[in-house]
Structure 1
């Protein structure tokens, strides 16, 4: 990797200092990827000068190309840049572990308390707040990503394909990527792609490092699945959990919001692991914890195994399900970084790759719009059916099942989020309290 002039003058931290700073970041990384990236920029670029501004932004663009949580991958890349593989492991794990520990505790509590009346009332308010948070994310991403007519068309097509025809999420993402690559070659201005500058001296192609990283981390990724296949068999819920979330790790472009509707559809309708409302509860819990929002997968994995525990006790099965889900969600992130980070400068010159990313980002706006519609239906209505006619497969609510309490709490959430501009934690607390008040009335 080439070193910029700004990067030559940066300070080189000790490994102990890296551990201290990333432990701090891990406990303070609230607010989704935007807030987490801003926190790392302040801590590592502005205050400590460990990474040059140019390299930070270059790496961030690179992480947007990869499936998985971009903020966690950026943390892994920074650790790798400063202290090699052990630095990448330390930074990436410290970014995840605090939030994962909190999410596990909340999942355990939820599993035993979800049927209590006051808990249901509290989570009714949480779900209303989550709906407002998802709409905020949709508007923020759309405002940044949809700056051309072609991108707006891709977003609209993605929404219609998912909401009206129930097309598979991986097909939407991969199809958008291929379309973007083709547009980049023929009409790059349709995607507002800037021509690449004159490339400087590039490093030799690091094939040996990449192949070795893929082999090692592929084996690490697959190890628990091999153990489950040998001991429990492919019919066990743990195999289903591991296989599903391994697949999800490959197509998770655009962050957690982009895959939540697909995850919910499969977890609720495909596998029957949990109810639609519980999926919204899980997202609400994930919003309250530090670390990547994709930790909501841990909640799903815990409940899936907890409710089909044989031959274990429910608690042990839940712990295994949560651990397995976290493993197969984040092990691929280390694989992508350690295998591809040495190629970052070469990839930065690939216009076709930038086109694919731009198109996927545009399609993700449509995907999040579908998630917004899915959440709105399941928060505001007690019963949601499916209208099928030919290829059309449209979710539609029973209007008589409208929940007026959810409507009131949703109106409160939107007023606080968009009018008063409250932050996520304050908004969740206020709406949860509102749910308890309405339950008492």
Structure 2
């Protein structure tokens, strides 16, 4: 403790910004930050490290590594970590809220429109096109994640393929398969001899995961929503899209809160709004239980992300590169990516219903493959316009 005080004192004069300046920046990024998690973390590096010099290169890299290792949405976790660097728990909380709130209010507004006008032909036509484009977007995301995280690793490929196949067969992602894959790779690659000694990071994270894994399904619907989405936010590894197959298994298959069509529309809404893709949970919560359902779902999704950022952060430099932890995350991430790939088939069966939607899905994937800088919201907007034109012809 005595060592921490001089370090903090030495650090304070070097600060070139206030907490409120950081909050204002994240509020702006959450409002206009299109392009998905990779683009968002890139914006943070460009603006906060290169242009403004608020965050050091080493602090940024440390935060990015932690965000990639822990479950939850990468961009939101990095934002929280950057708030934690100089302003600790309060900074992480305020910066995280600022980053998430703009897209939350956008999906609530879209949810209100959807509930009011969802039965109208024009909105059905929009989501007819957008739902097909989303399948192409998810397919390309799965491909990018596969090449980035799995590469030529045969063990991880085996985990990926098994989980993709099981997702297709079971029509949902099983969280215990993801955790089991992480344990399998850990045991094969880094037997727990030295990992079990002094595992401070794991001791901090495990009770949180256990707490959110348990929930009383007999509580009224808001509590049920909060429990389920906290569970989802705690155990989903990979990118923001990794939550899609997991949510499908819960909100459509297990609880029956949404129809297949509504679920695909919820994913589409997340694609056309800035900020983290995981904000789709707010839209789903709104459809299930109105505004407070949106609050419960979004808050429960991001709370584990927040806790799994601030609790390990002080210990991360010391323990973050332990072979056992890295091996577990590799296995869990490979399984999560396999589930994303499998969800392309599962969700595609509901969204690709004719030759127009099949062509839209394939064209979306091809465009994203060929033109790397095209952003998803542009494609989604084009797909909406195509849907408006094609839907009356196909369903007239």
TM interval, shorter chain, is 0.7 to 0.9
2:120 corresponds to which residue? Answer: 116
Among 301, 309, 313, the residue aligned to 1:341: 313
Q: Secondary structure at the match of 2:234?
A: helix
Classify the secondary structure of the residue corresponding to 1:164: helix
Deviation at 1:137, TM superposition (A): 0.4
Cα shift at 1:419 = 4.2
- Aligned pairs for 1:220-239 (under 5 A) are 234-239=218-223
Question: What residue in structure 2 maps to residue 183 of structure 1?
Answer: 188
Contact kept in structure 1, 2:230 and 2:303, CA below 8 Å? no
Query: Are the structure 2 counterparts of residues 15 and 269 from structure 1 closer, same or farther at C-alpha, using a change threshold of 3 Å?
Result: closer
Instruction: Give the Cα separation in 2 of the matches to 1:328 and 1:240.
Output: 11
The corresponding residue for 1:20 is 24
Q: Does 1:164 align with 2:169?
A: yes
The alpha-carbon deviation at position 50 of structure 1 amounts to 1.8
Q: Distance in 2 between matches of 1:138 and 1:171?
A: 20
Pick aligned residue for 2:236 from 252, 258, 275:
252
Q: In structure 1, the residue corresponding to 2:311 is in which secondary structure?
A: helix
2:132 paired residue number: 128
> What RMSD, in angstroms, separates the aligned Cα atoms of the two structures?
3.2
> Aligned in 2, Cα 1:166/1:372: closer, same or farther, shift over 3 Å?
closer
Structure 1 position 83, deviation (Å): 1.4
How far apart are residue 102 of structure 1 and its match? Answer: 0.5
Of the three residues 64, 76, 83, the one matched with 2:80 is 76
Query: Could you say what secondary structure the match of 1:349 adopts?
Result: coil
Matched, 1:332 2:275: no
1:148-194, Cα deviation, whole Å (9 max, x unpaired): 1111111112112222256752111111110121122269xxxxxxx
Task: Identify the residue that residue 97 of structure 2 maps to in structure 1.
Answer: 93
Q: What is the TM-score with the length of structure 1 in the denominator? A: 0.78
Question: Residues 261 and 350 of structure 2 are in contact (CA less than 8 Å); yes or no, is this contact kept in structure 1?
Answer: yes
Deviation at 1:420, TM superposition (A): 5.0
- For the residues of structure 2 that align with 1:8 and 1:321, how far apart are their CA atoms? 41
- Per-residue deviation, residues 270-323 of structure 1 (Å, max 9, x unmatched): 211111121111111111112111111111111112xxxxxxxxxxxx011011
Kept after mapping to 2: 8 A contact 1:30/1:289: yes
Structure 2 length-normalised TM: 0.86
Corresponding position of 1:358 = 330
Question: CA 1:89/1:167 → structure 2, altered by over 3 Å: closer, same or farther?
Answer: closer
Alignment CA distance shift 1:333-1:420 (3 Å): closer
Matching of residues 353-432 of structure 1 within 5 Å: 353-381=325-353, 403-419=354-370, 422-432=374-384
Match of residue 264, structure 2, among 258, 272, 280: 280
The answer to whether 1:37 aligns with 2:21 is: no
Are the counterparts in 1 of residues 122 and 388 from structure 2 also a CA contact under 8 Å?
A: yes
- Cα gap change, 1:9/1:372 in structure 2, threshold over 3 Å: closer, same or farther? farther
Cα distance change of structure 1 residues 31 and 206 upon mapping to structure 2, 3 Å threshold: closer
1:174 and 2:179 aligned: yes
Residues 202-255 of structure 1: per-residue CA shift (max 9 Å, x gap): xxx7999x69xx89xx99x99xx9xxx9xxx93532232122112112211113
Structure 2: gaps spanning 5 or more residues = 193-199
Q: Say if 2:6 is the partner of 1:54.
A: no
Assess if the C-alpha contact under 8 Å between 1:59 and 1:344 holds in 2.
no
Residue number in structure 1 paired with 2:390: 438
CA contact (8 A) 1:10 1:50 kept: no
1:31/1:167 Cα in 2 relative to 1: closer, same or farther (>3 Å)? closer
Q: Alignment partner of 1:115: what SS? A: coil
How many residue pairs end up in the alignment? Answer: 378
- Higher helix content, 1 or 2: 2
Pairing 1:152–2:157 present: yes
1:15 CA displacement: 2.2
Structure-1 separation of matches of 2:219 and 2:157: 42
Would the aligned equivalents of 2:171 and 2:346 in 1 still touch at CA under 8 Å? no
The question of whether the paired residues in 1 share the 8 Å contact of 2:172 and 2:248 is answered with no
The separation in 1 between residues aligned to 2:90 and 2:49, in whole angstroms, is 21
Unaligned runs of 5+ in 1: 188-204, 306-317, 382-402
Moved more, 250-259 or 7-16: 7-16
Q: 1:293 aligns with which of 277, 281, 284?
A: 277
Measure, in 1, the Cα distance between the counterparts of 2:170 and 2:122: 38
